[in-house]
Chain A
Amino acid sequence: MMDIPYTTEPRPDTGLYNAKLGIWLFLASEVMLFGALFSSYVLLRTGAPTWPHGSEFLNIPLATLNTVVLIASSVTMVLAWSALKLNDFGKYRRYMGLTFLAGVGFLIIKAIEYSTKFQHHLYPETNTFLAIYFTLTGLHGLHVIGGMVINGYFWGPGAKMWKTQPERFTNRIEVAGLYWHFVDLVWIFLFPTLYLM
């Protein structure tokens, strides 16, 4: 069976291992996905006769806490990759575990926020602001879940690759990290747009 080429060694024409260019192309498509929704947000907001301040409907302290949780998870993710670079698998496991737990924490806080809205009979159909709020945060939440599946796999069964192909595994963590940081980056823009303006 032929091996997958350029998993560790750089491809001569791009200067990168293939997965790295791959994830960046994927992230470019993700920018367009969220960009289209941000564009819709601007259209809805400029077209609306009145627009509520986020604090009228949303819980700013909880969302601030969630921002901190997600930023912290980005740091633990990059530290997990650094640990592999330093050949310290134990440290990698701890940092990756923390990253996964931070994802769980983010979702729990988000779930509390959503359930409070529903208790007050605030749904996407209630008004345009809540419609775009639920769409954007819902899509972002799905991305968090997707990242957690990947991170969970690399923390658990996927980590077996470290024993046989450590360099390739380290690259996998870098790629998973690039996705996770992107999810953090999207939240960095969602937070002020929806909650603070």
Chain B
Amino acid sequence: MSASDVESIKKQTRTYIGVFVALLVLTLVTVGVSYLHISSVFLALALGLLIACVKGGLVASVFMHLNHERKIIYWVLALTVLFFIVLMIIPVASHLDQRAIQ
């Protein structure tokens, strides 16, 4: 392994520690927000999920190396996201349909 490889891995290690600290802070922020008892359920849900998405994004891009990965994996994940969205639309559509009937 070349010296530049060693240096780049050491640099990555510092990034991992930085992400660790960011994840800890964001965990505390999520818990803190929940104690604010935001009256709007929608706002509380949106805020909680937004923070979770940032945390998830950090884990996926840095720990799972998605920030520099081969194209084929991005395609697999794009397809997964598409089907995941469909899965989430099903209950929402069902709920709206039920409301329309009532």
Asked whether A38 is an interface residue with its Cβ less than 8 Å from the other chain, the reply is yes
Which B residues are CB-close (under 8 A) to A55? 34
CB distance from B21 to the nearest CB of A (A): 10
Asked whether B101 is an interface residue with its Cβ less than 8 Å from the other chain, the reply is no
CB distance from B11 to the nearest CB of A (A): 11
Instruction: Say what secondary structure dominates the interface of chain A.
Output: helix
Which B residues are CB-close (under 8 A) to A184? 59, 63
Instruction: Say whether A192 contacts B9, CB under 8 Å.
Output: no
Asked whether A161 is an interface residue with its Cβ less than 8 Å from the other chain, the reply is no
CB distance from B8 to the nearest CB of A (A): 10
CB distance from A33 to the nearest CB of B (A): 10
Q: Given A35-B88, A185-B56, are A82 and B12 neighbors across the interface (CB < 8 Å)?
A: yes
Instruction: Say whether B59 contacts A14, CB under 8 Å.
Output: no
- How many cross-chain pairs have Cβ atoms below 8 Å apart between A and B? 131
Instruction: Say what secondary structure dominates the interface of chain B.
Output: helix
Asked whether A28 is an interface residue with its Cβ less than 8 Å from the other chain, the reply is yes
Instruction: Say whether A31 contacts B84, CB under 8 Å.
Output: yes
Asked whether B90 is an interface residue with its Cβ less than 8 Å from the other chain, the reply is yes
Q: Given A75-B17, A85-B9, A188-B56, are A38 and B64 neighbors across the interface (CB < 8 Å)?
A: no
List residues of B (7-53) whose CB comes within 8 Å of A's CBs.
9-10, 12-13, 16-17, 19-20, 23-24, 27-28, 30-31, 33-34, 41, 44-45, 48-49, 51-52
CB distance from A60 to the nearest CB of B (A): 7
Asked whether A172 is an interface residue with its Cβ less than 8 Å from the other chain, the reply is no
Which of A64-72, A97-105, A108-116, A117-125 binds B? A64-72
List residues of A (100-154) whose CB comes within 8 Å of B's CBs.
none
CB distance from A176 to the nearest CB of B (A): 12
List residues of B (50-69) whose CB comes within 8 Å of A's CBs.
51-52, 55-56, 59-60, 63-64
A13 nearest CB neighbor, chain B only = B72
Q: Which of A39, A64, A192 contacts B87 (CB 8 A)?
A: A39
